[in-house]
Chain A
């Protein structure tokens, strides 16, 4: 019996739960989620490839306050499932595409959960206004449960999408490689754009530029 899909589903759910509700230990960051998912799917190289590429996308995100942001944990797990088993870089493009769709789905689902939490809080306003500690505990646990269900559902949809892409996406070798190159290019653009936004218009850009120069020298020296 192949237990890889079950392992990927559980791992994706845990990665999604870590995003906001449980701990924020960052096990849902693409680098972590992808590397572990690669081992679970039996293709560590695909997991590492997807993890590093999607981490570039995630560098663009500042999860500040009430901002909306994509859920890259389950997304990376689904993307790895789509890419696993494909030779070389052929799985990169389809994997990134699946992951971005799932990341967006996760972002949308998080808004649904937050609205449900609001409704729950409003419904229990009398207990909260009375300072009832049991209602605080129940609200926290129900919120945690909602997030767990959200993460599990998003991962499940992602894994189904990954299976569909693996089976039906009609791409030749050339087109798959082109998609991978495009995925890599846009990931670099998103990471650089995020860094430029973070740096603002002042002298902070010099730090980014110095880093780029150091990184380029390192690559040349290797």
Chain B
């Protein structure tokens, strides 16, 4: 593998370090792309190198694991001598698909699926086994996706959109969230049964009532309340009740 690609891959692991509301991940993607532009040839290579970095750093947003695909494709386009206006259009055209495919594939699919699988193993085998299953499974796909994205972007350049339409990716987008929902469904009773082992019937009933009430609040009465706030509301109420009960 080309050393510049390895360098770009290593840099992609901190692509979001300077994430901000103005340029989002633009600075990070320019930082990832920079090693791939160092050997730009032809006339005005230094000027093109700098203008490419400026263009990407001005604004970019995508799923972090797929930013390497954008960096690779945009760098390849520079090597291929794509006119500036077209390179700008390519950059803008990648933002939406790389964001939505990545979000559906990873955040709504692979991450909850892996976490639920980890919970199932933790509840049925042992917590360390659950941790190992989760980290190994999740990161095999995570790192594979980063490496594949960078390599395919670098290879495809302006034709990178074809890679996003690939069969495996589309299957992942289509079925990832469904598989995650199934796995979360399996995990919930197993984890609850495991965690409630030390409770008496009275406390189990309390947990059941709170669970039902919490679901009614979060799905019906106040759907914008976050899980953290809902949890704090209930726990604060329990704390006050416990204090009085003491």
Tell me the bound Cα distance from A191 to B181 in angstroms: 11
Known: A26-B138, A52-B122, A182-B238. A198 touches B108 (CB 8 A): yes
Q: Is B16 an interface residue (CB 8 A)?
A: yes
Interface residue count for A (Cβ, 8 Å)? Answer: 111
Contacts of A122 in B (CB 8 A): 22
Give the contacts of B131-156 with A (CB-CB under 8 A): 131, 134-135, 138-139, 142
Give the interface segment out of B52-60, B81-89, B160-168: B52-60
Question: Which chain A residues have a beta carbon within 8 Å of chain B's beta carbons?
Answer: 20-27, 29, 31-32, 35-36, 38, 44, 47-49, 51-53, 55-66, 70, 88-89, 92-93, 96-97, 100-101, 103-104, 107, 114-115, 117-118, 120-122, 128-133, 136-137, 139-144, 147, 170-172, 174-199, 204-205, 207-216, 218-219, 222
Sample (20) of A-B pairs whose CB atoms are under 8 Å apart: A21-B19, A25-B135, A26-B114, A26-B139, A27-B135, A31-B127, A31-B131, A59-B184, A65-B103, A93-B238, A114-B19, A131-B50, A139-B18, A142-B18, A183-B234, A183-B238, A189-B210, A211-B181, A211-B183, A215-B188
Question: Which chain B residues have a beta carbon within 8 Å of chain A's beta carbons?
Answer: 11, 13-14, 16-24, 27-28, 30-31, 34, 49-54, 57-58, 61, 64-65, 99, 103, 107-108, 111-112, 114-116, 118-119, 122-124, 127-128, 130-131, 134-135, 138-139, 142, 177-196, 198-200, 203-204, 206-215, 217-219, 226-232, 234-239, 241-243, 245-246
